Amino acid sequence: MIVSTELGNAGQSESPLTYGRGWSPHLDATQRESYAAYMELGTLAVAAIGAVFGVGTTLVTDLVRSRREQDRYWNETKRVVYTRFLASLAQTHSRMIVAAFREQPDDVRRHGVHDAFHNDPQHSDAKALLRELAIVSPDHVYQAALPAYRQLRMIRELLAARSLRPESAEYEEVRQPFFQGMDTLQKVMRDDLQPKTSRRF
């Protein structure tokens, strides 16, 4: 009987902590405090992880919004320069042919053509705008702008050097490549301003 009593007492003496299943009514005061502290730390850890994810999501959203606003501003800047450059090319050409096709002495015509090329009434001559284009545009746009500008200079040199008529073959030989270059440049600029839907931040 003594043996069975001791075995019974031994079975009842096993600590409930050995199960590791959490709260038990058989925990003493120290064990209950430890368990409560453990649960509090777990709650704080979960809250901290949630806060980190929340901050991360906010930062990503702000980054995407900032990138979109920057792209919108940059596109608008390019659009203004592109429009001004194309307008300057066309207007400079118009001023030069007005000066060249008048009945006037050669030296007056020469001066009038050069003056029309260099002096824009809107203070936006083609050469100055070409420099702006080199700053704000991608290289492929700038490279597409160079042939049109060079062709405009060729027209200037021809009209200043010789007295021609609008229907003359010599003038037509330089006029057609100029307008073809402008058409090509306009397409390149338009494509560059299209939204980049596949761009990633």
Convert the pLDDT of each residue in 29-52 to its tens digit. Answer: 666 666 666 666 667 667 767 766
- C-alpha span between 189 and 78 (Å, rounded): 9
User: Cβ(172)–Cβ(164) under 8 Å?
Assistant: no
Architecture category of domain 76-191 in CATH? Up-down Bundle (1.20)
Whether 81 contacts 185, CB under 8 Å: no
Of the candidates 179, 195, 199, 180, the one whose C-alpha atom is nearest the C-alpha of residue 78 is: 195
The mean pLDDT of the chain is 80
Among 121, 131, 118, residue whose Cα is nearest residue 85: 131
Spell out the domain ranges in the chain. 76-191
Residues 21, 12: Cα–Cα separation, whole Å: 18
Strands (E), 4-132: none
- In the structure encoding, which two tokens stand for residue 86, read together? 């194309």
Q: Quick: pLDDT tens for 105-139.
A: 999 999 999 999 998 887 678 999 999 999 999 99
- Does the pTM exceed 0.75? no
From residue 187, alpha-carbon distances to 86, 130, 140, 143, 192 in Å are 11, 17, 12, 13, 9
54-79 pLDDT, tens digit per residue, is: 766 666 665 556 566 776 888 999 99
DSSP 3-state assignment of 102?
Answer: coil
CA-CA distance, 161 to 109, in Å (whole number)?
9
